[in-house]
Amino acid sequence: MIAARILLGVALAAPCLLSAQVAQPLPVATEEATPIGAIPPMPLPMPASRDQNYWGFRFQYGERNERAGPEDLFAVAGGVDYQLRGGSIFGLTGGYQGRRNCQTTSSCGHALFGARGRFNVFTGGPTVASIIGDESATTTLGTEVGFGYAPSVAPGVNACTIDAGVPFSIAMMQTVRVVTFVTPGVVWDVNCSADQTSHNRSGFVGFGIGLQQLFVRGLDVNFGAQRIFRGATGLQFGISVSWVRLP
């Protein structure tokens, strides 16, 4: 519960860090259009045996509301992940982002694609376990790097992003694992359809809570939210359902 409160505090403090920005001229900002901004964040993968590599599959749904523009965004995506020796994970994502109440006659949505590597740096937990009084508590700290691409976000605009983050999570309880997580990071975005070299850089924080090993050993359900500290990009939140195939 302490961990959950800390994460909630970080989330509530995030809007205070926003600086006043000029409104986005595009219906969808480039950093909102790729997987890092469109689909909800997830915690680092649950540790698994070092004997095997694991295939995982996920379905994600996210919304981005409270934006400056009149249109809220929604996105659905599917992905496949490869967990190496029970630790670090490499994943590919494909999906679609749309605009609610879209008034334009042109396209109201676009495809999005992404690749992500998530590397476990530390997996342990006795210190946190003793603090929260749960012997099974696991603390995981890692790094992640993601690449995103979304074609035809707006006429003449393809969105490209690179992001880096430092995911941190605490998982508790023996049977169904309750995991709280936070991922602060930085995203660089650019209109990669143009010959421009200028890019934007924004900080972000993703956070959420999830249930691991729900009903079956490989099934996880996570609820995540994210703030990008740039302009009025609003709050993104959503659900991720993932399944890892155990041998």
Partner 1 sequence: MIGSLDSHQKSIPVARLVARAGMGALMIWAGGGCHKVTLQEIAPEQIETTLFLIGDAGEPDPRQVGAPLDSLTAQASAAPERSIIVFLGDNVYPGGIPAEGAAEWADARRRLEAQVRAIPPGVRGIFLPGNHDWADETAFGLYSIRLQEQMIASLAQGRNVRLIPGNGCPGPVPVDVGRLRFIALDTQWWLHSYIVRDSSSRCPTITMAAVTAALRSEVNPPGEGRVVLVGGHHPLMTGGAHGGYCGVTGPYRRFGGSPQDILSGENRTMRDSIRSAFADHPPIAYVAGHDHTLQVLRGGRNVHYILVSGAGSPSKTECAVRMRESYYVTQHRAGFMRVDIMKGKGVLLRVFRYPATKHGALAYTRWLERR
Report the first-to-last Cα separation within the chain, whole angstroms: 33
Among 17, 68, 131, 246, binds partner 1 (CB under 8 A): 246
Q: What amino acid is encoded at 134 in this protein?
A: D
List, in sequence order, every beta strand (DSSP E) within the chain.
Answer: 54-65, 73-83, 89-99, 109-124, 138-154, 157-165, 168-172, 177-191, 200-212, 219-228, 235-244
Task: Identify which of 104, 136, 143, 151 has the alpha carbon closest to the alpha carbon of residue 121.
Answer: 143
Q: How far is the CB of 242 from partner 1 (least distance, A)?
A: 12
Q: Does 135 sit near partner 1 (CB under 8 A)?
A: yes
C-beta of 35 vs 87, nearer to partner 1: 87
Decide whether 106 or 175 has the Cβ nearer to partner 1: 175
Query: Which two structure tokens, joined as six digits, stand for 160?
Result: 């490209």
Q: Half-sphere exposure of residue 140, counting CA atoms within 13 Å on the CB side?
A: 28
Contact call for residue 122 and partner 1 (CB under 8 A): yes
For position 131 contacting partner 1 by CB under 8 A, the verdict is no
Least distance in angstroms from the C-beta of 198 to partner 1: 38
13 φ/ψ angles, rounded to the nearest 5 degrees: -80, -15
Q: Which two tokens stand for residue 96?
A: 């679609």
200 forms part of the interface with partner 1 (CB under 8 A): no
| Member of 120, 202, 222, 242 binding partner 1 (CB under 8 A) | 120
Q: Is the CA virtual torsion 67, 207, 212, 243 positive or negative?
A: positive
Interface residue with partner 1, options 21, 53, 65, 136 (CB under 8 A) = 136
Return the residue of 13, 15, 17, 49 that touches partner 1, per CB under 8 A. Answer: 49
Residue window 71-110: x/- pattern of binding to partner 1, with contact defined by CB under 8 A: --------------xxxx----------------------
Task: Determine whether 244 is exposed, middle or buried from the number of CB atoms within 10 Å of its CB (0-12, 13-18, 19+).
Answer: buried
Smallest distance, Å, CB 140 to partner 1?
9
**Contact call for residue 215 and partner 1 (CB under 8 A):** yes
Residues in touch with partner 1 (CB under 8 A):
46-52, 54, 85-88, 120-126, 129-130, 135-136, 138, 171, 173-177, 213-218, 244, 246-247
